[in-house]
Amino acid sequence: MRFARSILSGAFFALYGTLALLFAPVLALPVWKKSKVRALIRFFYRAFVLAARLTRLFVVSVSGGEYAQKAKKARGRIVAMNHISLIDIVVLMSILGDSTAIAKANVKKNPFLSQVSRKMFIINDEDPVKLKDEVAALLDGGVDVIVFPQGTRGGEVWRRGAARLALACKADILPARISYAPVVLAKSQPWWDVGGGTIKINVDFLPPVSPGEEDSFHAAKRLTARIENMIRYGKERNER
């Protein structure tokens, strides 16, 4: 059973990568607006998640009540989520409405996906003013901006990027917690390690957090700690 599922997962991810490479030159053409690219990629992600459910590779569930319902429609918020698997972004964007994410600058080095990534994501090229202005414009247009505070899969240190953007743009943060049973495509985990049964993925949306008026290093530090605790434990903790 495990061997058969490993073959299935290999076929899935190979097809995903092949389609991405085939579509990249087309989407890179100047006729495509960024909003259209986001819509097409979102459709592709949703088709990928649907196909995975039909083949019983993995199934995605959403929890969080009213927050989950609101999350499915773009509201111009910063969505902060923990980072476990390589497909976190695929799963989350298949649930949200019009959305984008902060991407690392090294994505520009990929000759196949560089141009598409520029249209699909916000490239963190170490220019904080440019990044803030781009994020603010998208939020004002009702686009959700996804940030992974851990930076990398399973990162131990939660970075203050999401908090800093929320404070600078006066935007609410929507925390979300993703979980896998069993975990797949984690850092250093082989792609064929997918267990012997259907992978259960859950995305739990938590109450939105207002950043407040103070925009400072200490405010960003406090807000980051608050978001980290909410995502880790599913609720806010009273800390002394």
For the stretch 132-186, pLDDT in tens is 999 999 999 999 999 999 988 999 999 999 999 999 999 999 999 999 999 999 9
The partner residues of 73 in beta bridges, in order of sequence, read none
Residue among 173, 109, 94, 181 at smallest CA distance from 139: 173
Residue at 153 is within a domain: yes
Residue at 135 is within a domain: yes
Range 40-74 burial, b when 16+ CB lie within 10 A, else e: bbbebbeebbeebeeeebbebebebeebbeebeeb
User: Looking at residue 93, which CATH number applies to its domain?
Assistant: 3.40.1130
Residue at 239 is within a domain: no
> What is the three-state SS of the chain?
CHHHHHHHHHHHHHHHHHHHHHHHHHHCCCCCCHHHHHHHHHHHHHHHHHHHHHCCCEEEEEECCHHHHHHCCCCCCEEEECCCCCCHHHHHHHHCCCEEEEEEHHHHHCCCCHHHHHHHCEEECCCHHHHHHHHHHHHHCCCEEEECCCCCCCCCCCCCHHHHHHHHHCCCEEEEEEEEECCCCCCCCCCCCCCCCCEEEEEEECCCECCCCCCCHHHHHHHHHHHHHHHHHCCCCCCC
pLDDT of residue 1: 63
Residue at 25 is within a domain: yes
Q: What is the phi/psi pair of residue 145, to 5°?
A: -115, 120
Domain count across the chain? 1
Q: How many CB atoms lie within 10 A of CB 111?
A: 8
Residue at 238 is within a domain: no
Q: First CA to last CA across the chain, in angstroms?
A: 50
pLDDT of residue 235: 64
Q: Which residues of the chain have pLDDT under 70?
A: 1, 20, 24-25, 27-28, 108-115, 126, 235-240
Residue among 35, 25, 13 at smallest CA distance from 116: 25
Residue at 53 is within a domain: yes
Query: In terms of residues, how long is the chain?
Result: 240
Domain membership of residue 22 as a residue range:
2-233
pLDDT of residue 170: 93
pLDDT of residue 162: 94
Residue at 207 is within a domain: yes
Residue at 240 is within a domain: no
pLDDT of residue 126: 65
